[in-house]
Amino acid sequence: MSAFTSKFADELIANAAYIGTPGKGILAADESTGTIGKRLASINVENVETNRRNLRELLFTAPGALPCLSGVILFEETLYQKSSDGKLFVDILKEGGVLPGIKVDKGTVELAGTNGETTTQGLDGLGDRCKKYYEAGARFAKWRAVLKIGENEPSELSIHENAYGLARYAVICQENGLVPIVEPEILVDGSHDIQKCAAVTERVLAACYKALSDHHVLLEGTLLKPNMVTPGSDSPKVSPEVIAEHTVRALQRTVPAAVPAIVFLSGGQSEEEATRNLNAMNQLKTKKPWSLSFSFGRALQQSTLKTWAGKEENVKAAQEALYVRCKANSEATLGTYKGDAKLGDGAAESLHVKDYKY
Amino acid sequence: MSAFVGKYADELIKTAKYIATPGKGILAADESTGTIGKRFASINVENIESNRQALRELLFTSPGTFPCLSGVILFEETLYQKTSDGKPFVDLLMESGVIPGIKVDKGVVDLAGTNGETTTQGLDSLGTRCQEYYKAGARFAKWRAVLKIGATEPSELSIQDNAKGLARYAIICQENGLVPIVEPEILTDGSHDIKQCAAVTETVLAAVYKALNEHHVLLEGTLLKPNMVTPGSDSPKVTPEVIADYTVTALRRTVPPAVPGIVFLSGGQSEEEATLNLNAMNKLDVLKPWTLTFSFGRALQQSTLKAWAGKTENVAKAQATFLTRCKANSDATLGKYTGGASGDSAASESLYVKGYKY
């Protein structure tokens, strides 16, 4: 095979397919210590380990949430944390039918000579780290590459560097039993229209799949985490149906059928926007050989965070808010969301932060 | 869009989709004057224009065959020929729901410094030629790139050059209203096993689709004509089910869902082999976002040629033979072929010619 045959092949294929189960999706709870600090700051909560642990316990024990999820992406610290009654988070998730995943990249660095474009680091010792994560219970990984749209961006250099970084990360994961989520995020920043976003997305995804082929990645044991195709943040909004049409067409033109599932990132979209767009895609009557689901961070946690505000007495209400978003997105993967989710505080709030530093 | 959407876009999409209609396929009758001469020699028929016209008239007026065919690929000479009662072949075909296509490449030339690898020529003034062909009634085109498997083949040069040639040909066709059939044939010659053929096929197809993306080709308005994935000609044969499994896996890993149909070449396979393999693919219980059909030359005409032997009194018999193969392959596109279409020994005759010069 062009794809390399790993001893983990069957397991990778089974896990990737499971994550793509219709009705389920991924909670991205892998905010680094720095990033979660910003979230906690927004609700006046101190960025200490107990608070980070409390937040994740709130999320993972929310009644009704786990059945809507097939995976949760964790930051390294969280992979080894326990609930307040001493149970490892990874065990809570596994018992709830949710695969633990792990963020393995080490952030972005600038590409010299470009206009603020970046590449992602994290390949050094990645194989050993993956082994350790597998031992700790992780079964999938995530690596975020970032591109932007501008006059001369994304440059061929940026596309090539990010695509080949993703490919190298992907095959190392597969050698060590982790399903790689391939995430080539094209930021929404800018005043470009949806056609431009579509053109760039198609170009970037084509480069990604060429790179994955060159690196002998087993596509059946991977997932794709792309941006939806939308107008730039400074451009007029369009309907979910228009977003769905452009997004699915871009994917039809670039993502081979061997990929079992596509799990969208939410970028700066509000909770409700992200859900409606995903729903519209799943209602579209056209060829979709991969399932279309979610891997949302902010778009699943925003209302929950605000409701919690770091207070013990708010936990129940915060968990209820999380359940509402999980259920809404679960329905969206089936195209049955009626838009009637009890909008929590901030559910309609845009989560766009210009030039978002992850 | 990343894809070029010219004035012919809607027509290209419609034509490509029609050619890919389940139950139909393509008759490749585009043998050059030299090549048809070899066929005629094998049945002791003189290679003169009237005989070439007679053969094609025999094929294009065979009762009952039109419902099995969505297209016929013609050589330039044939595009301008008429039936014996003065009707242009293209009109006859169009009226019968069969779209005329035209071979536009100008054969292969050696790539210097390689071990007998080739590239395909024909790009010079291709746009102008396509315009002429469109006026004459053609609505799709075909260009054959050839690669081989060896110790160090196909080389990166061969893959890149052939992929880029196909992409350039494809976009020029689309600019001028012709649906390009993209044909990257990997010859069966050799003693390699089926796994090696699969690996090479996947690598080649990945390169082809990357090139098509770079050249802004509208995938919805193209067709793919690949080899089936089989063991080399000097290796032990395998069953149609094994061929189907490896072939469809390779295609699922490389051919974007936007491509409406895949029309296999038969290479050196016998008529019966080619039909059985196509049938097995269509029976495979796996998600296939493109239709799988045929674009057969020898594998549709072999028995017919022998039955005709150049004699007018044999025409009816030859046409009945041709109908048998057309129906068999039409059934195969639906996974309904039950085998043994004709007791004719010619149907089982291998059509393999070592180092086949097209």
Task: Supply the CATH number for residue A69's domain.
Answer: 3.20.20.70
Q: Is B242 on the interface with A (CB under 8 A)?
A: no
Residue A252 within a domain:
yes
Pairing of strands A108-110, A118-120: antiparallel
For chain B, what's the residue count? 358
| Binary contact (B3, A253; C-beta < 8 A) | yes
Residue A1 within a domain:
no
Per CB-CB distance under 8 Å, the chain B contacts of A215 are: none
Sequence-distant (≥ 6) Cβ neighbours of residue A96 within 8 angstroms: A60, A66, A67, A69
Residue A44 within a domain:
yes
| Binary contact (B207, A253; C-beta < 8 A) | no
Q: Is A286 on the interface with B (CB under 8 A)?
A: no
Q: Is B245 on the interface with A (CB under 8 A)?
A: no
Q: Is A57 a catalytic residue?
A: no
Nearest to B258 among A213, A253, A258 (CB): A253
Sign of CA dihedral A196, A199, A203, A206: positive
Residue A87 within a domain:
yes
Percent of chain B whose pLDDT exceeds 70? 97
Task: Say what the pLDDT of residue A346 is.
Answer: 65
The C-alpha torsion from B225 through B74 and B337 to B327, rounded to 10°, is: 160
Which among B211, B214, B216 has a CA at the least distance from the CA of B1?
B216
Q: What is the value of pTM for the model shown?
A: 0.93
Which among B87, B126, B76, B93 has a CA at the least distance from the CA of B27?
B93
Task: Say what the pLDDT of residue B348 is.
Answer: 73
Residue A153 within a domain:
yes
pLDDT tens for A315-331 read: 999 999 999 999 999 99
pLDDT band at B346 (very low <50, low <70, confident <90, very high): low
pLDDT tens for A250-297 read: 999 999 999 999 999 999 899 999 999 999 999 999 999 999 999 999
Q: How many domains in chain A?
A: 1
When the pLDDT of each residue in chain B is averaged and rounded to a whole number, the result is 95
Which among B146, B143, B167, B137 has a CA at the least distance from the CA of B30?
B143
Q: How far is B263 from chain A (nearest CA, A)?
A: 18
Q: Tell me the CB-side half-sphere exposure of residue B111, using CA atoms within 13 A.
A: 21
ipTM for this prediction:
0.89
**Residue A341 pLDDT more than 80?**
no
pLDDT tens for B333-342 read: 999 999 876 5
User: Cis peptide before A154, with omega less than 30 degrees from 0?
Assistant: yes
Residue A346 within a domain:
no
| Binary contact (B202, A207; C-beta < 8 A) | no
Residue A345 within a domain:
no
pLDDT tens for B214-237 read: 999 999 999 999 999 999 999 999
When the pLDDT of each residue in chain A is averaged and rounded to a whole number, the result is 95
For chain A, what's the residue count? 358
Q: Is A199 on the interface with B (CB under 8 A)?
A: yes
Per CB-CB distance under 8 Å, the chain A contacts of B196 are: none
pLDDT tens for B63-109 read: 999 999 999 999 999 999 999 999 999 999 999 999 999 999 999 99
Q: Tell me the CB-side half-sphere exposure of residue A24, using CA atoms within 13 A.
A: 18
Q: Is A13 on the interface with B (CB under 8 A)?
A: no
The residues of B assigned a catalytic role are 183, 225
Residue A3 within a domain:
no
Nearest to B213 among A200, A206, A288 (CB): A206
The token duo for B120 is 């395909």
Interval B246-255 mean pLDDT: 98
Nearest chain A residue to B207 by CA distance is A210
pLDDT tens for B115-125 read: 999 999 999 99
| Binary contact (A1, B202; C-beta < 8 A) | yes
Report the alpha-carbon distance of residue B265 to residue B263 in Å, rounded.
7
Q: Which domain holds residue A139?
A: 8-334
Q: Is B9 on the interface with A (CB under 8 A)?
A: no
Per CB-CB distance under 8 Å, the chain A contacts of B3 are: 202, 253
